[in-house]
Homo-oligomer: A and B are copies of this chain.
Amino acid sequence: MSVLVVGTVAFDSIETPSGSAERVLGGSASYFALGASFFAPVRVVGVIGQDFPQDYIDLFTQRNIDIEGIERADGNTFHWRGRYHEDVNLRDTLELHLNVLAGFEPKLPETYRDAEYVFLGNIDPVMQMEVLHQIRRLKLVACDTMDHWIGESREELKKVLQRIEILVINDSEARLLSGYDNIVKAARAILKMGPKMVLIKRGEYGVLQFSDSSMFATPAYPLEEVFDPTGAGDSFAGGFLGQLARSGDQSQGGLRRAIVYGSVVASFTVEDFGVKRLTNVSLKEIEDRYQRFVQLTDFHS
């Protein structure tokens, strides 16, 4: 079962306490696609500019990611520049150049329209909705968003929320969207907006999952070094939805195991700059760390 993602394909320029990287491959669709590619075939919808190098395209194709849906437009590629604090949970955006992303109208190749597992990465809710309209056989739609769209495009976002099954969002965004400081109250309020499930990402503190009937909490995998947190959330979503597509198991346990797979993928992502670790980690390493995650959290044996 394949997974379709729409989102940004970008240049990222990153400074962290551990070092810096200039114009490396970034964007929500890139991290999601690489993270999901260990579990299932992936198709990407996005836009790049004339300056996007073949080397970066090769990073997708080497992992058998279908890039037919990536449009090359006139102009330059979306470029984000950010700096992380000593506390890497905090970051500042220093530059943001939308470039070809401004006015992007996603068009799905015919072969993409039977997608069953869909991830609407963090882009304009209007673009997210355009993608949904073009898909014939929706089975499971997950969606991300960010403070900018919650503030500036709330009505459009609310329409999207009524069409999706799973909202993947970080804790500060959940507070902003719901108006509640308490994260349990925030999640309950968001469930009333449409999604059947809310996944709340808390960075190094793990993930909370809420539905009407259940609640799941899991820590993050503790790491001795976090080189670059960029893309942790998107690769988490990729591992999560990829594992769901691989297993076909949407039982309560199946969903929870997919959350743990997502956490494991994210733990690799932050071990090196940009997408680097995602391009050299193996499925065996992911499966091994999943087992270590089982041991990390087990208090029954």
Interface residues of A (CB under 8 A from B): 86-87, 181-185, 188, 202, 204-206, 208, 214-220, 222-226, 253, 256-257, 259-260, 294-301
Contacts and interface: CB of A to CB of B under 8 A. Distances in A.
B299 A216 contact: yes
Contact of A205 (B206, B214, B223, B297): B206
A217 B296 contact: yes
A222 B202 contact: no
B205 A299 contact: no
B299 A181 contact: no
A222 B216 CA distance: 9
- Report how many copies the assembly holds: 2
A86 B181 contact: yes
Given A205-B202, A206-B205, A208-B222, A181 B87 contact: yes
Contacts of A253: 298-301
A87 B299 CA distance: 30
Contacts of A223: 182, 184
Which 5 A-B pairs rank lowest in CB-CB distance, beginning with the nearest? A256-B299, A217-B219, A205-B205, A184-B224, A184-B222
B224 A297 contact: no
A86 B182 CA distance: 10
Contacts of A216: 296-297, 299
Contact of A182 (B225, B298, B300, B301): B225
A216 B297 CA distance: 6
Given A253-B301, A298-B256, A299-B253, A218 B219 contact: yes
A211 to B, nearest CB: 13
Contacts of A202: 205
Contacts of A218: 219, 297, 299
A226 to B, nearest CB: 7
Contact of A299 (B260, B299, B300): B260
Given A206-B205, A208-B222, A217 B184 contact: no
Nearest to A220: B217
Contacts of A259: 299
A87 B188 CA distance: 19
Contacts of A182: 223-226
A223 to B, nearest CB: 7
18 contacts: A87-B181, A182-B226, A184-B222, A184-B223, A205-B206, A206-B219, A215-B222, A215-B296, A216-B297, A217-B219, A217-B220, A217-B222, A217-B297, A218-B219, A218-B297, A253-B298, A253-B299, A260-B299
B224 A185 contact: yes
